């Protein structure tokens, strides 16, 4: 029973982290599209949300670089 519980916890953790990475990716891609559509204010808002919500993701590092490039 203990092994089943541990397995379930590990599975849940993997599922949770996998979903958050996809959400971070979606936020980053949406912000990039906003930049391409000449809407830097909304792009910055999305980059900031990404950094706040997913600070350890690879997309957060990229979002910080984009904010620097946009002068924010």
pLDDT in tens, the chain (72 residues): 666 656 445 545 554 555 678 899 999 999 999 999 999 999 999 999 999 999 999 999 999 999 999 998
| pLDDT of 65 | 97
| pLDDT of 7 | 47
Residue 59 lies in a domain: yes
The residue range of the domain holding 27 is 20-69
Residue 36 lies in a domain: yes
Residue 49 lies in a domain: yes
Residue 29 lies in a domain: yes
Residue 27 lies in a domain: yes
Tokens for 58, please give them: 């690879």
| pLDDT of 20 | 73
Total domains, the chain: 1
CA 24-61-41 angle, to 5 degrees, is: 70
Q: How many CB atoms lie within 10 A of CB 19?
A: 10
**CA of residue 54 relative to chain centroid, distance:** 5
Residue 5 lies in a domain: no
Residue 12 lies in a domain: no
């Amino acid at each position: 029973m203990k092994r089943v519980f541990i397995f379930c916890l590990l599975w849940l953790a993997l599922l949770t982290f996998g979903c958050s990475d996809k959400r971070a990716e979606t936020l980053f891609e949406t912000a990039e599209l906003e930049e391409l559509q000449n809407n830097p204010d909304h792009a910055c808002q999305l980059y900031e949300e990404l950094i706040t919500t997913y600070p350890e993701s690879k997309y957060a590092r990229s979002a910080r670089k984009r904010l620097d490039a946009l002068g924010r």
